[in-house]
Structure 1
Amino acid sequence: MRAVEEVVEDKADPRPVTPAPRRNRADLWAGLNYLALALLVMIQLWRDPNGRVLASNDDDHGVFLFFLAHGERVLFHGDNPFFSDRINVPDGVNMMANTSVLALSLPLAPVTHWFGAGVSVALLLTLGLAGTAFAWYWVLSRHLVTSRVAAWIGGLWCGFAPTMVSHANGHVNFVSQWVLPFIVWQVLRLREPGRHWRGGVILALLVVVQVFINEESLLFTALALGVFVLAYAVMAPARARRDARPLLAGLGVAIAVAGALLAYPLWLQFLGKGNYHGQPFAPDMYATDLASLAGFARQSLAGNAELTRRMSVSGTEDNMFFGPVGLIMIVASVVVLWRSVAARAAAISALVLLIASMGPTLVVFGHRTSVPLPFGLISHVPVIDLVSVTRFAMVPATIAGVLLALATDRLRTFTPRGRRLWQVGLVLALVPLFPKPLPVVEADPLPPFLTQGAWRQYVPADRSLVTVPLPEVTTGRTGVRWSALSGLEYRSPRGYFMGPVNPPSDRTGSWNAPRRFTSDLLWSVREYGRRPALSAGDKARITEDLIFWRAAVVVLIPGSRNEGPLLDTLTSALGEPQQVGGVRLWDVRSLPVPPNE
């Protein structure tokens, strides 16, 4: 195929035909290798997936528990897949405007139903790492390289690069990239004459699946392919003109089919109830540090967490970190492949996305310089303003793995000394990046009040169970986890999700529900341990908020930070609590229920 020929256009020898039995054995061993490594990375969580949380990002671990529980409710209870009323009562959550991973949560709904959302999260993180590695291995080995070893190295890098292991700290959506290699390959194949109908439909279906896994990764892939095509056209204009017609025809078919299938979900996402625009942070808040290109991630064998923190925004965003030898090998791969127009175009695409990931101004080893960067010109463009800037770096990290595989496939053209140097370089690059098991912490067990179903006596179907601390990002993660591991059987106010900060006046994106008097009060008590003297007016506003939340019962989570001041505040507002099933609770079913909107 022409797409293959142009990637490997300077190969001296014809492509050998590997016997099917050997090919199948190689595929099996590659898959088992990747699965074993993924299990090693996730082994700590697998020891008790419903009773442990990932230490580096228990917030996002909790929100994906919710997304998986939502998928279970869609399949087993007939809930709306695109909207949930189980949290953020009474407003609910626009699931299309969140990374609800419906393409993953729905197939795994039986696992979630019978084994718990924690098991589903652990399973998806494990299969995401292994599946992404194997998908790239498959595309590389079938279409781009002749050596199974080269394909294995490429898959290993693409599936277990530091950025992937970092995002395995709770980001189910970002580690599940196994559709993207096939999207890339189908786009390249659209250049083949007579393929625009079939190829366009296949590409559209892959895009639809990816939309319901992670739209952010799809956007990054589209941008990378766009830069690749432009760079390729500049360097090989004659070929580009020849291939433009079938490529554009195929893309037209893909856009039409995908647009028809996604029209309603995307309308809900951008115009439906609970839509928002922008992020709750400035575009330069999460940017890639230039020094991280040659650094080591905290979860790499050679990583040092204290040093990495200077170059990374969080344990889930170690998006570069190739190590010094790894960076040298990537640059060397570009040199080896320099005669290939496609390889040069891929390298340019990686460089452009890398620069974009650095944000509006250059950051070097934690120091923000005054050097302006191009991203500042597009940071407020719609859709672009919805992404976390540093995640653009996931694209060059993946392209690096592809280039490394392509260059390794050229080993037979090297001199004996060159082959030895390349093999030593691969070892020195890959061994320090070997991933360590992700750290976890024990989570508080669900109280008998929930596990024994005592809550059912207090919470009618049209009312909510209010946990204190209130379910919020960072401060109320236990309430989010309780709700998800209980199968979202009861409804609860607030929560951790993306929605408008203060609709309808301000639809800027926020990780929390709009602020209310009681949420601010209880946050302050939990955070600072102060016992406020509540006036009659304060108590009335608390009652007003409980009515708004359709509260049936208020439950104090045992062992919460500043539990004593929280208990005193709730007692002052609501009277003495009851002790039921291991929790203190306040029965407020006597409060009126506002009419449904």
Structure 2
Amino acid sequence: MSLAASAPAASADPSTEPPAPSGARRWRAHLAVGLLALSLAVYVTNGLWRDPFGHGLSDNLGDQAFFEWLLGYGVYTLGHGSDPFFTDLLNVPWGVNLAANTSISVYTILFAPLTFLAGPQISYVTILTLNLAGSAFVWYLFLRRWLTPSTVAAALGGMFCGFAPGFISHANGHLNWTAGWVAPLVLWQVLRLRQPGRWLRNGLVLGLMLAAFFTIAAEGLFYTALASALFVVVWSLAGPVRGEAKAAAGTVLKACAVTGVVAGGLLAYPLYMHFAGPQTFSGTGYNQRYFAEDAAAYLSFASRSLAAVFGLGSDLGPNRTEETSYFGVPLVVLTLVSAVLVWRRAAPGRKATLRAILVTGGVFMVLSWGPRFNWMGEEWPEFPLPFALLAKLPLFDAALPLRLALVTACVVGIVLALVTQEIMDGRFTSPNVHSGISAAIVVALLPVFPLPVRHQERAPEPDFIADGTWQRYVSENGVLTALPFALNVHADGQRWQAYTMARGGPQFRMPGGYFLGPMTTGEEGREQAGRIGAPTLATDWLFTRAAIYGYVTELSNADRAQARADFAYWGVEAVFLPEKITGSDHMVLFRHAVETTATDLLGPPEEVDDVLLWRIRPGVDPIDR
């Protein structure tokens, strides 16, 4: 299974590295590529770095707030010994199953000191930047080790894998999906499983990796495992390497057994929580037919690519955070032509590897199209696709098909590295072909060069929260909420709780929030469909409707009685309205409508610091009429 460029034959020893320059030159090359990757990552995230506390990702403020909440919860976990996979701080009185969400527990613990000292805002942009840079750099190291001896070829492929349009799209909020470095590290270790006499060590290392990476990018790890398995099967069936694969099978199986025992033992509790713990559910609350990649998107350009500056961006994605392919016609053509050219010059063992890589990319491309074929925004229901057979299976039922295109993006990066190696080796005897492919690489990559992620101003943390004034109005571990109640489209309230947790000390709980949970409350089990946030009650819907639509209705005593019942259900002791509330994607929220609704429902507010506050007295009508 070796991909080593210096030994493409079937008998290649996986521990054999291609001829390398001197150590000093190699490390200088690594340093240069690392600095380039970091520079590009800072360029992409520069809008957040310019004001981490006042700027947010306008295309996905909700997910940013959720991950900032998780980072704050990491400090809370260490300080209070709380469960990293379940919390009762959100969604009072039921809590949230964090194992069934993207809990990034390893990150929250590792970055807890930075979060405590500087705040979740700083930790968030730091992780996002390091994820992007680390993904490109680790892919470079992987390609340099297993595929090509050329620094230039490996760097080009690595930069594309790290900054492909799909990963830039996910940089609009997703700390889990920007952790693209997980895939090459896992693949690296998978390729080492066949080393003779080292099955115990290699299996142990892979098991530890899987356990750690599960809490960073569980869905990405699942896709990496599928891609690895498909690659190994296709490669093993190739005639030139079949004997080599058979000889290594025993060692690989023993290593995999060790991996299963180690990873299974370490992940026993989080897996139990994910599949059978409280507040579990099936699916994600997202429609898989909607979150499928339009086939035309592969030929289009993303909204955060250089092509978009010239009006060539596409709106075929469900949102700007899920533009997962978007290679454009030039890059698609270049990839196909490059694959043919590399294939023609490959030795038999090398062809086995290339075939497995291309089959993996093709299969994941088709799976990314989802249960039904889509073209230019139109679904063709008469054309069911392979994903329809997988959609109801465990794990697949919680996967969004279009994200499978990220595997195809990495295959494109590998092909780019391969064809660049051919150029560097001077294997194109015709000067016209050499110059043509070199020019085609430039023409294909320029349109997909990333633009920085979009940002906007977001509401500053109220002094009422920052100064701890809230503690005078809520009992220990009492329930407090901002208005409107936290949701993905207006998540400020969840941020206020995140910043409070990050400081340590006393903490309040809150109803609602932005998370994934079961469709209904009080009934446990994965047979329940998933949904975004808590089931809405009449009272929190009043405030959400007022905030988003500016809708103010004339309230009746029945509405106030319902509010009394809802507040008792949540155990709310006080609600508050800051001077400013933030909506995602520059959404204008109607603060005055929220204030009018709250005053009509609860009576005149108190002015406390920089917020309006309403105290909730149990058993008493919200307003004396």
- TM-score range with shorter-chain normalisation? over 0.9
Q: Which residue of 2 aligns with 1:4?
A: 4
What is the CA distance between 1:307 and its match in structure 2? 5.4
CA contact (8 A) 1:41 1:435 kept: yes
CA contact (8 A) 1:63 1:497 kept: yes
| Cα-Cα RMSD | 2.2
What is the CA distance between 1:48 and its match in structure 2? 0.8
User: SS at 1:507's partner residue?
Assistant: coil
Q: Which residue of 2 aligns with 1:154?
A: 157
Q: 1:524 aligns with which of 545, 549, 557?
A: 545
Q: Which residue of 2 aligns with 1:548?
A: 569
4+ long deviations beyond 4 Å: 304-307, 589-592
Q: 2:316 aligns with which of 311, 321, 325?
A: 311
Q: Which residue of 2 aligns with 1:582?
A: 610
Q: 1:355 aligns with which of 356, 359, 366?
A: 366
Q: Which residue of 2 aligns with 1:466?
A: 481
Matched, 1:73 2:76: yes
Task: For 1:348 and 1:53, locate their aligned partners in 2 and report how far apart those are by CA, in whole Å.
Answer: 39
CA contact (8 A) 1:7 1:341 kept: no
Deviates more, 1:227-236 or 1:160-169: 227-236
What is the CA distance between 1:470 and its match in structure 2? 0.7
What is the CA distance between 1:301 and its match in structure 2? 1.0
User: SS at 1:519's partner residue?
Assistant: helix
CA contact (8 A) 2:5 2:148 kept: no
Deviates more, 1:370-379 or 1:357-366: 370-379
Matched, 1:38 2:41: yes
CA contact (8 A) 1:7 1:343 kept: no
CA contact (8 A) 1:292 1:312 kept: yes
What is the CA distance between 1:406 and its match in structure 2? 2.4
Q: Which residue of 1 aligns with 2:623?
A: none
CA contact (8 A) 1:274 1:499 kept: yes
Task: For 2:7 and 2:558, locate their aligned partners in 1 and report how far apart those are by CA, in whole Å.
Answer: 72
Task: For 1:496 and 1:49, locate their aligned partners in 2 and report how far apart those are by CA, in whole Å.
Answer: 21
Q: 2:123 aligns with which of 120, 125, 128?
A: 120
Q: 2:421 aligns with which of 392, 409, 418?
A: 409
User: SS at 1:444's partner residue?
Assistant: coil
Task: For 2:163 and 2:592, locate their aligned partners in 1 and report how far apart those are by CA, in whole Å.
Answer: 45
User: Could you report, residue by residue, the CA deviation over 1:510-550 in whole angstroms, capped at 9, with x for unpaired residues?
Assistant: 11112222123333333443333333332122112112222
Q: Which residue of 2 aligns with 1:395?
A: 407
Task: For 1:7 and 1:388, locate their aligned partners in 2 and report how far apart those are by CA, in whole Å.
Answer: 38
Q: Which residue of 1 aligns with 2:494?
A: 480
Q: Which residue of 1 aligns with 2:558?
A: 537
Q: 2:183 aligns with which of 180, 184, 189?
A: 180
CA contact (8 A) 1:289 1:362 kept: yes
User: Could you report, residue by residue, the CA deviation over 1:548-595 in whole angstroms, capped at 9, with x for unpaired residues?
Assistant: 222121112334533333323322332221111121111125559xxx
After the TM superposition, which residues 185-334 of structure 1 pair with which residues of structure 2 at under 5 Å, given as runs? 185-236=188-239, 237-303=242-308, 308-334=313-339
Task: For 1:580 and 1:225, locate their aligned partners in 2 and report how far apart those are by CA, in whole Å.
Answer: 57
Equivalent pairs counted in the alignment come to 590
**Residues 1:80 and 1:317: Cα distance change in structure 2 (over 3 Å):** same
User: SS at 1:177's partner residue?
Assistant: coil
Q: Which residue of 2 aligns with 1:343?
A: 354
1:366 maps to amino acid: G
Q: Which residue of 2 aligns with 1:595?
A: none
Q: Which residue of 2 aligns with 1:87?
A: 90
Deviates more, 1:436-445 or 1:558-567: 558-567
Deviates more, 1:137-146 or 1:28-37: 137-146
Gaps of 5+ in 1: 593-597
Task: For 1:130 and 1:296, locate their aligned partners in 2 and report how far apart those are by CA, in whole Å.
Answer: 22
**Residues 1:9 and 1:527: Cα distance change in structure 2 (over 3 Å):** same
Gaps of 5+ in 2: 12-16, 582-588, 621-625
2:8 maps to amino acid: V
Percent of matched pairs sharing the same residue:
36
> How does the TM-score come out when normalised to structure 2?
0.90
What is the CA distance between 1:479 and its match in structure 2? 1.5
Task: For 2:62 and 2:101, locate their aligned partners in 1 and report how far apart those are by CA, in whole Å.
Answer: 15
Q: Which residue of 1 aligns with 2:448?
A: 433
Deviates more, 1:534-543 or 1:173-182: 534-543
**Residues 1:156 and 1:21: Cα distance change in structure 2 (over 3 Å):** same
Matched, 1:573 2:601: yes
User: SS at 1:410's partner residue?
Assistant: helix
User: Could you report, residue by residue, the CA deviation over 1:163-198 in whole angstroms, capped at 9, with x for unpaired residues?
Assistant: 111111111111112232121121122122222211
Q: Which residue of 2 aligns with 1:380?
A: 392
What is the CA distance between 1:465 and its match in structure 2? 1.0
User: Could you report, residue by residue, the CA deviation over 1:312-368 in whole angstroms, capped at 9, with x for unpaired residues?
Assistant: 121111111112221122212321332421111111011101100101111112222
User: Could you report, residue by residue, the CA deviation over 1:287-309 in whole angstroms, capped at 9, with x for unpaired residues?
Assistant: 11111212211111112597544
User: SS at 2:456's partner residue?
Assistant: strand
**Residues 1:93 and 1:240: Cα distance change in structure 2 (over 3 Å):** same
User: SS at 1:257's partner residue?
Assistant: helix
Q: 1:497 aligns with which of 503, 515, 520?
A: 515
Q: Which residue of 1 aligns with 2:466?
A: 451
CA contact (8 A) 1:469 1:557 kept: no
1:402 maps to amino acid: I
Task: For 2:75 and 2:341, locate their aligned partners in 1 and report how far apart those are by CA, in whole Å.
Answer: 49
Task: For 1:389 and 1:360, locate their aligned partners in 2 and report how far apart those are by CA, in whole Å.
Answer: 8
**Residues 1:578 and 1:68: Cα distance change in structure 2 (over 3 Å):** same
Task: For 1:321 and 1:288, locate their aligned partners in 2 and report how far apart those are by CA, in whole Å.
Answer: 10
> How does the TM-score come out when normalised to structure 1?
0.94
